[in-house]
Protein backbone atom coordinates (compact mmCIF):
# COMPACT_ATOMS: atom_id res chain seq x y z
CA UNK A 1 0.00 0.00 0.00
CA UNK A 2 2.82 2.34 0.93
CA UNK A 3 4.52 1.62 -2.39
CA UNK A 4 1.34 2.45 -4.37
CA UNK A 5 0.87 5.66 -2.43
CA UNK A 6 4.44 6.80 -3.21
CA UNK A 7 3.91 5.88 -6.84
CA UNK A 8 0.79 8.07 -7.03
CA UNK A 9 2.65 10.97 -5.42
CA UNK A 10 5.51 10.65 -7.92
CA UNK A 11 3.02 10.52 -10.84
CA UNK A 12 1.24 13.65 -9.53
CA UNK A 13 4.57 15.47 -9.19
CA UNK A 14 5.52 14.53 -12.75
CA UNK A 15 2.18 15.86 -14.04
CA UNK A 16 2.69 19.11 -12.15
CA UNK A 17 6.23 19.47 -13.50
CA UNK A 18 5.03 18.76 -17.04
CA UNK A 19 2.18 21.28 -16.68
CA UNK A 20 4.66 23.89 -15.40
CA UNK A 21 6.97 23.38 -18.37
CA UNK A 22 4.03 23.52 -20.78
CA UNK A 23 2.94 26.82 -19.24
CA UNK A 24 6.44 28.25 -19.65
CA UNK A 25 6.57 26.97 -23.21
CA UNK A 26 3.24 28.65 -23.92
CA UNK A 27 4.54 31.93 -22.47
CA UNK A 28 7.70 31.72 -24.62
CA UNK A 29 5.64 31.03 -27.76
CA UNK A 30 3.40 34.04 -27.04
CA UNK A 31 6.45 36.26 -26.47
CA UNK A 32 7.99 34.99 -29.72
CA UNK A 33 4.80 35.66 -31.67
CA UNK A 34 4.56 39.20 -30.29
CA UNK A 35 8.26 40.06 -30.48
CA UNK A 36 8.91 38.32 -33.81
CA UNK A 37 5.58 38.29 -35.73
CA UNK A 38 7.37 37.40 -38.98
CA UNK A 39 7.73 33.85 -37.63
CA UNK A 40 4.04 32.95 -37.86
CA UNK A 41 3.37 35.22 -40.84
CA UNK A 42 5.98 33.37 -42.90
CA UNK A 43 4.24 30.08 -42.11
CA UNK A 44 0.68 31.22 -42.78
CA UNK A 45 0.71 33.92 -45.49
CA UNK A 46 2.24 31.82 -48.31
CA UNK A 47 -0.56 29.29 -47.85
CA UNK A 48 -3.50 31.64 -47.28
CA UNK A 49 -2.82 34.59 -49.59
CA UNK A 50 0.19 33.64 -51.76
CA UNK A 51 0.50 31.91 -55.10
CA UNK A 52 3.56 29.84 -55.99
CA UNK A 53 5.17 31.03 -59.22
CA UNK A 54 6.51 28.56 -61.75
CA UNK A 55 9.46 30.65 -62.91
CA UNK A 56 12.48 30.95 -60.63
CA UNK A 57 13.34 34.46 -59.50
CA UNK A 58 16.57 35.84 -60.91
CA UNK A 59 18.39 38.74 -59.28
CA UNK A 60 18.25 41.85 -61.49
CA UNK A 61 21.55 43.13 -62.82
CA UNK A 62 19.84 46.50 -63.35
CA UNK A 63 16.57 48.05 -62.22
CA UNK A 64 13.85 48.48 -64.86
CA UNK A 65 12.72 52.07 -65.38
CA UNK A 66 10.16 53.35 -67.89
CA UNK A 67 9.26 57.03 -67.82
CA UNK A 68 5.54 57.74 -67.95
CA UNK A 69 3.28 60.64 -68.71
CA UNK A 70 2.52 61.76 -65.20
CA UNK A 71 -0.90 60.80 -63.90
CA UNK A 72 -2.66 61.11 -60.56
CA UNK A 73 -3.95 58.24 -58.44
CA UNK A 74 -6.07 58.77 -55.32
CA UNK A 75 -5.79 56.14 -52.59
CA UNK A 76 -7.11 55.93 -49.03
CA UNK A 77 -5.14 54.93 -45.96
CA UNK A 78 -6.16 55.27 -42.32
CA UNK A 79 -9.31 57.18 -43.23
CA UNK A 80 -7.35 59.79 -45.24
CA UNK A 81 -6.99 60.35 -48.98
CA UNK A 82 -3.57 60.63 -50.61
CA UNK A 83 -2.82 61.84 -54.12
CA UNK A 84 0.01 59.90 -55.75
CA UNK A 85 1.66 61.19 -58.91
CA UNK A 86 2.82 58.19 -60.98
CA UNK A 87 6.11 59.11 -62.68
CA UNK A 88 8.01 55.94 -63.62
CA UNK A 89 7.08 52.28 -64.12
CA UNK A 90 9.56 50.31 -62.01
CA UNK A 91 10.57 46.75 -61.24
CA UNK A 92 13.54 44.98 -59.68
CA UNK A 93 14.43 41.65 -58.11
CA UNK A 94 16.95 41.73 -55.32
CA UNK A 95 17.91 40.61 -51.85
CA UNK A 96 16.56 42.29 -48.71
CA UNK A 97 19.27 43.98 -46.65
CA UNK A 98 17.14 45.41 -43.86
CA UNK A 99 13.50 46.06 -43.00
CA UNK A 100 12.54 48.89 -40.65
CA UNK A 101 8.97 48.74 -39.29
CA UNK A 102 7.14 51.92 -38.28
CA UNK A 103 3.65 50.56 -37.67
CA UNK A 104 4.33 49.04 -34.24
CA UNK A 105 2.64 50.53 -31.19
CA UNK A 106 5.98 51.60 -29.66
CA UNK A 107 6.91 53.69 -32.72
CA UNK A 108 3.42 55.16 -32.97
CA UNK A 109 3.75 56.35 -29.38
CA UNK A 110 7.23 57.73 -30.08
CA UNK A 111 6.58 59.39 -33.44
CA UNK A 112 2.85 59.01 -34.09
CA UNK A 113 2.05 62.59 -33.16
CA UNK A 114 4.24 63.96 -35.96
CA UNK A 115 4.40 61.13 -38.53
CA UNK A 116 1.00 59.40 -38.38
CA UNK A 117 0.01 60.35 -41.94
CA UNK A 118 3.28 59.05 -43.33
CA UNK A 119 3.21 55.87 -41.23
CA UNK A 120 -0.31 55.12 -42.52
CA UNK A 121 0.93 55.52 -46.10
CA UNK A 122 4.36 53.86 -45.71
CA UNK A 123 4.31 51.45 -42.74
CA UNK A 124 7.91 50.25 -43.27
CA UNK A 125 11.09 50.87 -45.28
CA UNK A 126 13.36 48.33 -46.94
CA UNK A 127 16.88 48.33 -48.34
CA UNK A 128 17.16 46.14 -51.45
CA UNK A 129 20.37 45.14 -53.22
CA UNK A 130 20.68 43.80 -56.76
CA UNK A 131 23.46 42.70 -59.11
CA UNK A 132 26.78 41.48 -57.77
CA UNK A 133 26.04 42.88 -54.30
CA UNK A 134 23.20 40.35 -53.96
CA UNK A 135 25.41 37.31 -54.61
CA UNK A 136 25.45 35.25 -51.38
CA UNK A 137 29.23 35.28 -50.83
CA UNK A 138 29.38 39.05 -51.32
CA UNK A 139 26.11 39.87 -49.57
CA UNK A 140 27.36 38.31 -46.33
CA UNK A 141 30.19 40.87 -46.16
CA UNK A 142 27.72 43.73 -45.64
CA UNK A 143 25.98 45.29 -42.67
CA UNK A 144 22.89 47.35 -43.41
CA UNK A 145 21.93 50.46 -41.48
CA UNK A 146 18.68 52.36 -41.30
CA UNK A 147 17.81 55.45 -39.30
CA UNK A 148 15.27 58.25 -39.68
CA UNK A 149 13.91 56.51 -42.80
CA UNK A 150 17.31 56.59 -44.48
CA UNK A 151 19.20 53.39 -45.32
CA UNK A 152 22.64 52.40 -46.41
CA UNK A 153 25.31 49.69 -46.63
CA UNK A 154 28.48 49.27 -44.61
CA UNK A 155 31.25 46.70 -44.50
CA UNK A 156 30.98 44.10 -41.77
CA UNK A 157 33.85 44.17 -39.29
CA UNK A 158 34.82 47.77 -40.09
CA UNK A 159 34.88 50.46 -37.39
CA UNK A 160 33.11 53.60 -38.64
CA UNK A 161 33.49 57.08 -37.19
CA UNK A 162 29.91 57.53 -35.98
CA UNK A 163 30.77 59.98 -33.22
CA UNK A 164 33.65 61.38 -31.18
CA UNK A 165 33.34 58.19 -29.10
CA UNK A 166 34.26 55.97 -32.06
CA UNK A 167 37.83 54.75 -31.68
CA UNK A 168 39.88 51.56 -31.98
CA UNK A 169 40.51 49.52 -28.85
CA UNK A 170 44.00 48.62 -30.00
CA UNK A 171 46.29 48.39 -33.02
CA UNK A 172 45.08 44.89 -33.92
CA UNK A 173 41.48 46.12 -34.23
CA UNK A 174 42.64 48.95 -36.49
CA UNK A 175 44.56 46.54 -38.73
CA UNK A 176 41.64 44.10 -38.93
CA UNK A 177 39.18 46.90 -39.68
CA UNK A 178 41.38 48.19 -42.52
CA UNK A 179 41.70 44.65 -43.95
CA UNK A 180 37.91 44.11 -43.85
CA UNK A 181 37.33 47.46 -45.52
CA UNK A 182 39.85 46.72 -48.28
CA UNK A 183 38.16 43.39 -49.01
CA UNK A 184 34.55 44.61 -48.89
CA UNK A 185 34.50 48.24 -50.08
CA UNK A 186 35.13 47.56 -53.80
CA UNK A 187 31.84 45.63 -53.94
CA UNK A 188 29.67 48.51 -52.66
CA UNK A 189 28.13 49.92 -55.81
CA UNK A 190 25.62 52.77 -55.57
CA UNK A 191 23.89 51.49 -58.70
CA UNK A 192 23.12 48.19 -56.96
CA UNK A 193 21.26 49.23 -53.81
CA UNK A 194 18.74 51.73 -52.56
CA UNK A 195 16.36 52.59 -49.74
CA UNK A 196 12.69 52.04 -50.57
CA UNK A 197 9.54 53.54 -49.07
CA UNK A 198 6.98 51.00 -50.37
CA UNK A 199 3.31 52.00 -50.57
CA UNK A 200 1.34 48.72 -50.77
CA UNK A 201 -1.48 48.75 -53.34
CA UNK A 202 -3.44 46.04 -51.49
CA UNK A 203 -3.67 44.57 -48.01
CA UNK A 204 -2.15 41.29 -49.25
CA UNK A 205 0.91 43.19 -50.49
CA UNK A 206 1.09 44.98 -47.15
CA UNK A 207 1.03 41.61 -45.37
CA UNK A 208 3.80 40.29 -47.63
CA UNK A 209 5.95 43.34 -46.91
CA UNK A 210 5.35 42.94 -43.17
CA UNK A 211 6.96 39.47 -43.07
CA UNK A 212 10.19 40.28 -44.94
CA UNK A 213 13.53 39.56 -43.29
CA UNK A 214 17.17 40.02 -44.28
CA UNK A 215 18.23 37.75 -47.13
CA UNK A 216 14.79 37.26 -48.72
CA UNK A 217 14.77 37.32 -52.52
CA UNK A 218 12.08 39.83 -53.45
CA UNK A 219 10.65 41.04 -56.77
CA UNK A 220 8.97 44.46 -56.65
CA UNK A 221 6.73 45.76 -59.41
CA UNK A 222 4.90 49.07 -59.50
CA UNK A 223 5.46 52.80 -59.94
CA UNK A 224 7.77 55.45 -58.53
CA UNK A 225 5.53 58.20 -57.19
CA UNK A 226 5.44 61.63 -55.60
CA UNK A 227 3.00 62.53 -52.82
CA UNK A 228 2.82 66.30 -53.32
CA UNK A 229 -0.04 67.30 -51.04
CA UNK A 230 1.32 66.10 -47.70
CA UNK A 231 4.74 67.69 -47.75
CA UNK A 232 6.45 64.32 -48.08
CA UNK A 233 9.71 63.81 -49.97
CA UNK A 234 9.47 63.24 -53.71
CA UNK A 235 10.70 59.96 -55.08
CA UNK A 236 14.03 59.38 -56.70
CA UNK A 237 13.69 58.15 -60.27
CA UNK A 238 17.25 57.01 -60.86
CA UNK A 239 19.85 55.73 -58.41
CA UNK A 240 22.49 58.44 -58.81
CA UNK A 241 20.20 61.42 -58.26
CA UNK A 242 21.53 63.62 -55.46
CA UNK A 243 19.68 65.34 -52.68
CA UNK A 244 19.40 69.08 -53.19
CA UNK A 245 19.55 70.01 -49.52
CA UNK A 246 20.11 66.80 -47.56
CA UNK A 247 23.42 65.02 -47.06
CA UNK A 248 23.75 61.88 -44.96
CA UNK A 249 27.43 61.17 -44.45
CA UNK A 250 28.43 57.60 -45.22
CA UNK A 251 25.00 56.61 -46.51
CA UNK A 252 23.57 56.36 -50.00
CA UNK A 253 23.46 59.89 -51.55
CA UNK A 254 20.62 59.08 -53.95
CA UNK A 255 16.98 59.83 -53.28
CA UNK A 256 14.84 57.13 -51.67
CA UNK A 257 12.41 55.36 -53.97
CA UNK A 258 8.77 55.91 -53.05
CA UNK A 259 7.32 52.94 -54.88
CA UNK A 260 3.62 52.14 -55.19
CA UNK A 261 3.86 48.33 -55.14
CA UNK A 262 1.27 46.55 -57.33
CA UNK A 263 2.90 43.11 -57.14
CA UNK A 264 5.49 41.46 -54.94
CA UNK A 265 7.11 38.02 -55.13
CA UNK A 266 8.84 36.77 -51.97
CA UNK A 267 11.03 33.66 -52.24
CA UNK A 268 8.99 32.33 -55.16
CA UNK A 269 5.51 33.19 -53.81
CA UNK A 270 3.47 35.98 -55.42
CA UNK A 271 1.18 38.41 -53.58
CA UNK A 272 -1.19 40.89 -55.24
Do 65 and 24 share a structural domain?
no
Do 12 and 92 share a structural domain?
no
Do 64 and 9 share a structural domain?
no
Higher pLDDT, 178 or 163: 178
Residue range of the domain that includes 156:
51-271
Do 179 and 260 share a structural domain?
yes
- Residue 43 belongs to a domain: no
pLDDT digits (tens, 9 = 90+) for 223-238: 999 888 877 667 887 7
Pairwise CA distance, residues 112 & 92, whole Å: 31
Nearest CA to 220 out of 126, 147, 151, 149 is that of 126
pLDDT digits (tens, 9 = 90+) for 189-209: 989 999 999 999 999 999 999
| Axis-axis angle for helices 38-48, 203-210 (nearest 10) | 140
pTM of the model as a whole: 0.82
Do 138 and 21 share a structural domain?
no
Query: Distance of CA 261 to CAs 92, 176, 225, Å?
Result: 11, 41, 10
Pairwise CA distance, residues 125 & 257, whole Å: 10
pLDDT digits (tens, 9 = 90+) for 101-151: 887 766 666 665 567 788 889 999 999 999 999 999 999 999 999 887 888
Do 139 and 69 share a structural domain?
yes
Pairwise CA distance, residues 77 & 205, whole Å: 14
Q: Is the dihedral of CA 42, 48, 54, 58 positive or negative?
A: negative
- Residue 252 belongs to a domain: yes
Amino acid sequence: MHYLWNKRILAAEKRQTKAKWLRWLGVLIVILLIWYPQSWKRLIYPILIGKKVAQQQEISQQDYFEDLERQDLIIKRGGKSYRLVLKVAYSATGRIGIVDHYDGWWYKIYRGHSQKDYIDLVPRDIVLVIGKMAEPDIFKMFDFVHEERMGGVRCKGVKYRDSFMSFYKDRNEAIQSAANSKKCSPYINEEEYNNYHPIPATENINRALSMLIKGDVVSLEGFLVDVPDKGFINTGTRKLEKYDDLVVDGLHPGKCFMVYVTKIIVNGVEYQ
